[in-house]
Chains A and B, each alone.
Chain A
Amino acid sequence: MFVFPGDFLGYAEEYVPGEGVYEEEGKLYAATAGEVVVEDKVIKVRTVKEIPEVGKNDIVVGRVVDTRNSFAMVEIVRKKGSERALRHYDRALLHVSNISEGYMKNLENGVRYWDIIRARVIDNNLRLSIKEEDMGVIRAICRVCGTPLVREKDKLKCPECGNVERRKISSYYGSGEW
């Protein structure tokens, strides 16, 4: 059944309200347009257009906006599979232990301020990991002159000033995709 916002779906005694459903004075109504789905007494509306929310196992892209000794803060902009701004835009945390499979002592060998990274969300508290081969930095700028760095094997090199930097580089680096 296709419903519209405000359509009456049933009484609160009959169902548990799920996504896209709201309760008012014991009555359940649709909050979005879409198809009604009932599973185990939970009634929800499969909305015509989802507002993305980030959860465990999602792949995201974001920018490193702060680095400390053992962790970096990352501003997530998009979740893979969605072109839309996220429902919540809290900062995510990337701990130094989640940068590479091996031991990494210095966070700055993995990510640096203003890097753009492709990462996996590993829990529901917005903690990230870039251990996988296709995860990591996908774009970085030279910290000497600000020019975008170019990948050269396992290092990044500045085409302008020749400065060489280390990162946990994603296989997507420089491809313009993620």
Chain B
Amino acid sequence: MASEDVKRLKGEIKLIVDGKRLDGRAFDELRPIKIEAGVLKRADGSCYLEMGKNKVVAAVYGPREVHPRHLQDPIKAVVRYRYNMAPFSVEERKRPGPDRRSIEISKVSREALEAVIMKELFPRCGIDVFVEVLQADAGSRTACLNAASVALVDAGVPMRGMISSVAVAKVEGHLVLDPTKEEDFYGEADIPFAFFIRNDKIESIALLQMDGRVTKSELMEALQMAKKGALEIYRMQKEAIKSRYIIEEADENE
């Protein structure tokens, strides 16, 4: 990585060549996405998701009894979210256990999901969402949120809508959708978004973070770009649930 840094300083690494990104995508193009719902037998709902090189799996348990009891809320369910990276998910082995970054990601992701989960239906209960990153690339938090949203639908947890998440980065003066690790690493800004989507329309922003520098107009442009990307992801999330449901139907008829 050190020699790459030197190259970068010398301007030898170009992230955008002839209006194309290193992996050949257009500025507003997503990485390949693969989504499969209901992959875990013991979880109430689950989802495996690939977003570029990210490979993540989400598991939902609940509504169920909350332990310890003092965490119970008498009028609504408590949502817990754990984002965790497997030690082998990154190039250099990561020490297992939570760190500052994963605690922060867990918090903002939980808040995004709380915007849609109908917690008031389950007083004193807990809804637990676990997301494990098996292989990490840029945007693992967005991949995890997309997986968690599908897993919650798979679990039959009542929700006002769905959450779809994608990031936008600024690279060599251009805004790019769904950045890769290189674009995130050498870019000027990284802006993860998550949206509350209802009835095929974006209702509101459920998560917005920003690292780096952009102008006000660039931020607005990034928002438009992210909305378009999120709606594409939303369609794929629905497709994943639908195909799982139709397969189950066929099994029952055998």
Contact = CB atoms under 8 A, between A and B. Distances in A.
Interface of A: 2, 4-8, 20, 22, 24, 29, 31-34, 47-51, 84-85, 87, 89
B185 interface: no
A22 B156 contact: no
A12 B64 CA distance: 31
9 contacts: A4-B162, A4-B241, A5-B160, A5-B161, A6-B159, A29-B198, A32-B156, A49-B44, A49-B45
A147 B160 CA distance: 50
A46 to B, nearest CB: 11
Contact of A85 (B63, B156, B158, B199): B63
For the side of the interface on B, what is the size category? 20 to 34
- Between B125, B156, B159, B197, the greatest number of chain A beta carbons within 10 A of the residue's beta carbon is seen for B156
Given A6-B199, A8-B199, A85 B62 contact: yes
Contacts of A32: 153, 156-159
A2 B242 contact: yes
Given A4-B153, A20-B158, A31-B159, 13 more contacts: A2-B242, A5-B153, A6-B198, A7-B198, A22-B158, A24-B160, A29-B160, A31-B118, A32-B156, A32-B158, A49-B45, A85-B64, A85-B65
Contacts of A24: 160
Nearest to B64: A85
A154 B245 CA distance: 47
A51 B117 CA distance: 14
Interface string B33-65: 000000000001100000000000000011111
B154 A29 contact: no
Given A49-B156, A51-B156, A2 B245 contact: yes
A2 B61 CA distance: 24
Contacts of B44: 49, 84-85
A48 B247 CA distance: 12
A87 B125 CA distance: 8
Nearest to A85: B64
Contacts of A85: 44, 61-65
B245 A87 contact: no
Contacts of B199: 6-8, 29
Nearest to A24: B160
Given A33-B153, A48-B245, A84-B44, A5 B159 contact: yes
B144 interface: no
B155 interface: yes
B122 interface: yes
B116 interface: yes
B129 to A, nearest CB: 15
Given A29-B160, A84-B44, A85-B65, A49 B116 contact: no
B163 to A, nearest CB: 10
A90 to B, nearest CB: 9
Contacts of B153: 4-5, 32-33, 48
A114 B242 CA distance: 44
